[in-house]
Structure 1
């Protein structure tokens, strides 16, 4: 089969590799029909995640069709159309029982990280009964494509923020994850959602889709002061950092009010400094982590009921055979690229 393989920093190629096989009774083999290129994939490509070993097939956000199941898989059968969680989990270990599915000791964390991923014709899905989700009749791959990662991550970021009705929520980073955080933050009834980014076109896009109510460009305004102006001098009740950059990390902390919450979901390649001599007195809460992807059924229901639609994020759709060009489009933001989708070759 074809697969996009990591051979080391800046060295990835579309190769012919062996088809995956059932290794455990809980496995399923899924024919990938639609996948994406994500920010984490970019970090891997650039050597920012050295844990990824050469020879790894990349990719973790996808939909497909079940073509084979292990003997212990009971919820799915050949021919089922499914969306797939980006993390694998057993549901029975110490961490799974506590809802920390992304730290499952029996799973393998993230597709394309410690196990082979989905930028390929076929993928092995461990613990298939826990990680596959039927695509409802009437919905397409594109409707539910993001539930496995970025939409779940955005929801997780908003959930970690502890948003209360009437809050001001500022999202630092208007990339795909940031926009998913904006869209899902509305489920908690904030009075305003504010998009913060130096790319004005992305702010404008978030405003056009009504995922954000206001946009602030740090190149044009003092973001911290603007958020205080919104809130009678207090600052944002919740800030969400969705970039993984030093500038947005610092800004999200500076902009939150005393007693507020900073929710971090950006992937950081470098250590960050916490100025505890200044922070301890502000009583802020910092929350962070890898998405547990436990809200996929809820997100699919919201999509089915027409209450959530993230398809506008898809700006480019190309065949898997052009995946290398897709990475360049994604990283260079060519033609205002936001999300690049890969379709199975005919």
Structure 2
């Protein structure tokens, strides 16, 4: 089969690989039907993910059709259409039992797919712990509608949950890229007073506004963000700030625009160390939460998709065939043609 392989820092190749096989009774073998490229794949390529294993097939955001199941798999059968969780988890360790699946202690647990074990940018993939890590796609939901269930939407929903968004909140989302947009979609489910999107790109901001993901948009390349947020919040600042951009200054912006005793959730994966400006924020009594997504809400997210309460297809700006996936990487990495997200059809 053909697959995109991380050979070394700066070197991704499309090469022929052997088809995977069932190794454990809890495994599922999946025929990938639709996949995509994530910013985390670019982080791996650039060498910002030290735990990434060379010679691994990339991809942790995809959907497919079940080709084979291990003897212990109970929830799924051959032919089922499923969305794949970006994390694989055993369900039995200390962290899994508490819902902290990002920190599953199994050797194949946490963010393993497309990082430490072969992922979904190939024609077939082995999914460990299939019963835990797959979500059945209803007949009324298309592959495109389900594509972001296990990663982008899971990340956005997790961020909103740990941010404890309420109906009285003014929520600011810094970053209107794919993850930021999905975070806004999920934030709307919690019915906050208003959602404000911040980015440096008008195309992304307009997409957020036109699709109803955000109520107000601000461009930080020309707007004085702190002044604008104060104007919009009776001079207090934001109740909840979800920092999804991971830019050079967005960490400090998130701390600056939150009002005292507010909550700041750091969703972004930073490429460089960030400095906590303790003298500047002393007395603000901020609650700061951060980490990798615990992807335990996929069933709930799929239900929202089925009920049309979430629609992430507008963020798909490009559609390409798998044979052109290396071109897709170039477009996505270099943000050509206003790309937000690329859906890559396998056949």
Q: What is the TM-score of this pair, normalised by structure 2? A: 0.97
Give the Å deviation of 1:203.
Answer: 0.6
Q: Which residues of structure 2 form unaligned runs of 5+?
A: none
Separation in 1, partners of 2:131, 2:164: 30
Separation in 2, partners of 1:109, 1:189: 30
1:98-177 equivalences under 5 Å are: 98-106=98-106, 107-110=108-111, 111-177=113-179
Residue 28 (str. 1) matches residue 25 (str. 2): no
- Provide the residue aligned with 2:326 in structure 1: 324
Residue 302 (str. 1) matches residue 304 (str. 2): yes
- Provide the residue aligned with 2:85 in structure 1: 85
- Provide the residue aligned with 1:271 in structure 2: 273
Q: Is the 8 A contact 1:51 1:113 kept in 2?
A: yes
- Provide the residue aligned with 1:55 in structure 2: 55
Give the Å deviation of 1:41.
Answer: 0.7
SS at match of 1:148: coil
Q: Is the 8 A contact 1:263 1:288 kept in 2?
A: yes
Q: Which one of 219, 222, 244 corresponds to residue 220 of structure 1? A: 222
Separation in 1, partners of 2:189, 2:80: 30
Separation in 1, partners of 2:39, 2:206: 21
Q: Across the two proteins, how many residue pairs are aligned to each other? A: 345
Alpha-carbon RMSD across the aligned residues, in angstroms, is: 1.0
Give the Å deviation of 1:340.
Answer: 0.8
Separation in 1, partners of 2:50, 2:159: 25
Give the Å deviation of 1:187.
Answer: 1.6
Separation in 2, partners of 1:224, 1:188: 24
Separation in 1, partners of 2:189, 2:75: 30
Separation in 1, partners of 2:85, 2:53: 22
Q: Is the 8 A contact 1:89 1:96 kept in 2?
A: yes
> After the TM superposition, which parts of structure 1 deviate over 4 Å for at least 4 consecutive aligned residues?
none
SS at match of 2:117: coil
Q: What is the TM-score of this pair, normalised by structure 1? A: 0.98
Which range moves more in the overlay, 148-157 or 41-50? 41-50
Cα deviation, 1:66-116, whole Å, max 9, x if unaligned, reads 111111111111111111101001111100011101111114322111111
Q: Is the 8 A contact 1:244 1:268 kept in 2?
A: yes
SS at match of 1:322: helix
Q: Is the 8 A contact 1:25 1:70 kept in 2?
A: yes
Separation in 2, partners of 1:219, 1:277: 26
Q: Is the 8 A contact 2:90 2:109 kept in 1?
A: no
SS at match of 1:196: strand
Q: Is the 8 A contact 1:108 1:115 kept in 2?
A: no
Give the Å deviation of 1:158.
Answer: 1.5
Separation in 2, partners of 1:334, 1:237: 35
